[in-house]
Amino acid sequence: QVQLVESGGGLVQAGDSLRLSCVASGRAFSTASVAWFRQAPGKEREFVAAVKWGGGLTYYADSGKGRFTISRDNAKNTVYLQMNSLKPKETAVYCCAANAGGDRKKDYNYDYWGRGTQVTVSS
């Protein structure tokens, strides 16, 4: 089983930055992409960013382009999400997920999920 563990969330003020980490373990050799999704209470789960494990191509939701950067370190089995200029509306639980293929922006194409890390942005 693939295990994903997120860290790096916390309470920050609007305009601050955070770097989230997602460490993968287990048999994830067939993973094509790793993505970050977020979900706020009462709202649908939202795609944030994804990175192709082999090659490092990245994909972003329009909301995060120019402010968010996703990267991966294959040797450490870790994916990072650098978030700059955070906004209060981006308060949510952020989860990482791994998939074997398909549309990287669709949550139903991901097979493994972490428990999430809480990001709270105050105004």
pLDDT of 1 reads 76
| Residue whose C-alpha is closest to residue 101's, from 35, 2, 46 | 35
pLDDT of 47 reads 97
pLDDT in tens, 27-44: 665 678 999 999 999 999
pLDDT in tens, 60-107: 999 999 999 999 998 899 999 999 999 999 999 999 999 878 899 999
pLDDT of 93 reads 98
Mean pLDDT of 1-21: 96
Helices (H), the chain: none
